[in-house]
Amino acid sequence: MKQINDEVEKVFLNSFTETCKCLKIDDDVAFLEDDFTGVVRTRTTAELCSAMIKMQKLNKKEYTEIIKKITNWLIIKQNKDGSWNETHVNYDNPSSVFTAICGLTLLEVNEEKLNIKIPKTVLDNAANFLIKQEIKNGHFRKSEHYHADVLNADAMISAFLIKYGVNQNNVKYLEVAKRGLKNIISQQKDNGEFPYGSKIVQYPYKHHLDVPCIHYQTVTLYYLDKCNNKIEDDEVKKSINNGINWLQKNQKITGEFNWKSSGLNFALYLTATYGFAVYLYSKYCCTNKLLILNTIRILNQQYEKGILLRWEKSSSLKMIVGILFSIKGGSIGKYPINFKILRTLHRIHREISRLKENKKMIPSKITKVKTGYSAILSTVESSTNYPDLYMTTQALDAMASVIERDQKI
């Protein structure tokens, strides 16, 4: 494992150093200033803070003052209802996902006893907000504008509620979180695949979200593992192992994922996927050294000066191959033929877009097309590839977790 940890640490430290250069630090607060998209997001700052905490814990460097300023900023940015906003180019609303991640980071700050005061009401309000988002039996609203049962969001919410529930010995939090876990596992396919969402059509989508997604498979597994770290459960562990097996079956021996098998178009080629996979493989598949090293290698290829590109890098040949497979990918899922055509065109658009690189995010006109298809697009759709702090901090959080775990062994 030493070689793997050394490789992970090398990639991590380069990216971590460059990402920290994007911090805006004032007298009392600090946060990531994203010049690539022009938006400031609590999630990216929280994930960077989480990585800092792990590095400080391992005596890599002293970050207490910056952690304190980030904590101050996160507390200031919390809404009165206990939530934090998800902020993108065309979107700025309370989010269960951002609330769970900000809450998890603040719990880490508390655990390290850095003499940083976090009012208990901040965490209580976050927990109560998330509990109120449960629509039915472990299905949570992602936000007020997205009511579909998205499994990775359920996993993030459950991770926060389990961690805080254990810390506070709060049975209510734990019961809600366990319903979330049961809901996620009940929708896992026999082959280990987690669909992005349930078979039930819900606002604002016009079609179901029951399609496989390589990126969100890794995200769901990563947060299920966080849940299992606090309360071990054989059923959850079995689900994680089955999910990892599905991932490996959709990955080439050279390390690249087989994206033609991924059915969620707006999450195609997202680079943080490799960061989450490295964490999962190094914990659950530690004997498969070649796979882990190849996954790290592919991840490392996606950086531009320490910042991850949003999408996996392309070439003219890869673009042609991707376009040829767009019909197959666009046909994934039980959808009407007209919707499959739109999905195919979107995949072709992605293949062309990711071939071009720009220093900033350029919003794509596809999100403005009045076809109804925009209801299944991401809140961010660019017309070119670009350096993306959103992907970068997710990978940093996952890699820091690898380094932390390895140091403990």
Peptide bond into 204 cis (omega under 30): yes
Q: What is the pLDDT of residue 40?
A: 96
Model pTM score? 0.96
Mapping DSSP to helix (H, G, I), strand (E, B) and coil, where does residue 294 land?
helix
Q: What is the pLDDT of residue 381?
A: 84
**Rounded distance, CA 312 to CA 379, Å?**
19
Helix axes 96-111 and 151-168, enclosed angle (nearest 10) = 30
Mapping DSSP to helix (H, G, I), strand (E, B) and coil, where does residue 270 land?
strand
Q: What is the pLDDT of residue 371?
A: 47
Splitting the chain (409 residues) into consecutive groups of 10 residues, what average pLDDT does each group show?
91 97 97 96 98 88 95 98 91 94 98 92 98 97 92 98 98 98 98 97 89 98 98 97 97 96 96 98 91 97 98 97 96 95 93 96 74 56 95 98 79
φ and ψ at residue 314, rounded to 5 degrees: -125, 180
CB atoms within 10 A of CB 36: 18
φ and ψ at residue 91, rounded to 5 degrees: -155, 130
**Rounded distance, CA 375 to CA 295, Å?**
32
Is the separation of the CB atoms in 178 and 148 below 8 Å? no
Q: What is the pLDDT of residue 204?
A: 82
Q: Which of 106, 5, 116 is nearest to 64 (CA)?
A: 116
Helix axes 2-20 and 389-408, enclosed angle (nearest 10) = 140
Is the separation of the CB atoms in 302 and 313 below 8 Å? yes
Beta-bridge mates of residue 136: 139
Q: How many CA atoms lie within 13 A of 394 on its CB side?
A: 27
CATH of 2-408, one of 3.40.50.620, 1.10.10.10, 3.40.190.10, 1.50.10.20: 1.50.10.20
**Rounded distance, CA 180 to CA 203, Å?**
20
Give me the residue label for tokens 């959709």: 250
Q: What is the pLDDT of residue 206?
A: 87
The alpha carbon torsion through 372, 377, 383, 387 (nearest 10 deg) reads 160
Is the separation of the CB atoms in 286 and 3 below 8 Å? no
